[in-house]
Chains A and B, each alone.
Chain A
C-alpha cells in the first residue's frame, strides 16, 4: 500500500512564476491536508480538503494561494506570482474517512520550494 505521494520533491521558481504542488493521498483516504514548514520550525496548517470540497482554509494566505482536490486525480496546491517568502517545505497529509472522530494523518515526503 503506497503512502502519501508528493511531486515534485524539489521545485525551483523565479519570482513571479507559478508553483504547482501535487499530492496523491493514500489509497482509501478521502481527506487531504496541506501544511507549510519553514526551516527549524513546526508545520503550519494551510488547508483541509475532501473530494471536490474545501473544508477549512483558515491557514491559507488570502491572495496568490489556492488548493483543490478534484473528483479524479491528485490534490493541487497552487501558488501564483511566487515571492521569496514562499520558499519552504510544503507537506501534504491524508487520513481515512471518519464519522467525526479523530484519525491519524499520514504525511508525504514534502515538496521543497525555492524561489530565486
Chain B
C-alpha cells in the first residue's frame, strides 16, 4: 500500500551545522508534499511545502528538494539551532488533500 518512510530515525548535529532530513515516498501519483515539525506534547507545525511540478523550494533557513525520479524528498535546515530540535515528518497528499505521514526523524541539536 501507500507508504512514506524515512531513512534516519535520529539525526544528531552540532549547533550551526546544516541538517538534512530525508524521506522516501512510494505513491508516484502524489502531487503535494509537506514537511512538519513536531515538538513534544504539541501538534505538527507546518514548515514548508512543495508541489510535484517543482523540484526545489526555499523558505527561511529551510529548503525542500523533490526528486520525482527516485521518489525522494529532503528537508535542509541551514545553521541549525537548538530550537530546531524536534521530530520532523514528511507527508504526501493523496486524493482530496488527505495526508499520508512518515514515521518521523528526531533531530537533536547540541549547543
Chain A residues near B (Cβ < 8 Å): 4, 31, 33, 35, 40-45, 48, 55-56, 58-59, 91, 93, 95, 98, 102-110
In the complex, are the beta carbons of A95 and B104 less than 8 A apart?
no
In the complex, are the beta carbons of B34 and A104 less than 8 A apart?
yes
Number of B interface residues at 8 Å Cβ cutoff, please give it: 25
Least CB distance, B46 to chain A, in whole angstroms: 5
Chain B residues near A (Cβ < 8 Å): 4, 31-32, 34, 36, 42-46, 49, 51, 89, 91, 93, 95-104
Q: For the complex, would chain B's binding face be called helix, strand, loop or mixed by DSSP majority? A: strand
Residues of B within 8 A of A55 (CB): 96
Chosen A-B contacts, 17 in total, with CB atoms closer than 8 Å, are A31-B97, A33-B97, A33-B99, A35-B101, A41-B103, A43-B91, A43-B101, A44-B101, A45-B100, A48-B97, A56-B95, A93-B99, A98-B97, A102-B31, A102-B32, A105-B97, A108-B43
